[in-house]
Structure 1
């Protein structure tokens, strides 16, 4: 696996963790996790490209 694949997996985990946090009532923490996941992810907004 290359670094891009690892970052993509990490981003998915962060977004899922954020969604779970929101469902548990931790709105701020959930939003932070989702935003970080989107920034790390393979989309056009990745901070590593």
Structure 2
């Protein structure tokens, strides 16, 4: 389960960085924060 959450979190963070590069700063920050909340290294909302 931890590996799946880590992969989902990584996808959110990568998508957030790409979104920021494309110019949507606020949406990119939201994606990165959600990725950090989901990730097992951060404050996981599922555990």
| Alignment correspondent of 1:41 | 39
Q: Structure 1: 5+ residue runs without aligned partners?
A: none
Q: TM-score, normalised by structure 2?
A: 0.92
- Runs ≥4 in structure 1, deviation > 2 angstroms? none
Instruction: Give the length in aligned residue pairs.
Output: 47
Distance 1:48 1:32, change over 3 A: same
Q: Structure 2: 5+ residue runs without aligned partners?
A: none
Q: What is the alpha-carbon root mean square deviation over aligned residues? A: 0.8
Q: TM-score, normalised by structure 1?
A: 0.88
1:3-45 Cα deviation digits (max 9, x unpaired): 1111100000000000000000000110000000000001141
Larger radius of gyration between Structure 1 and Structure 2: 1
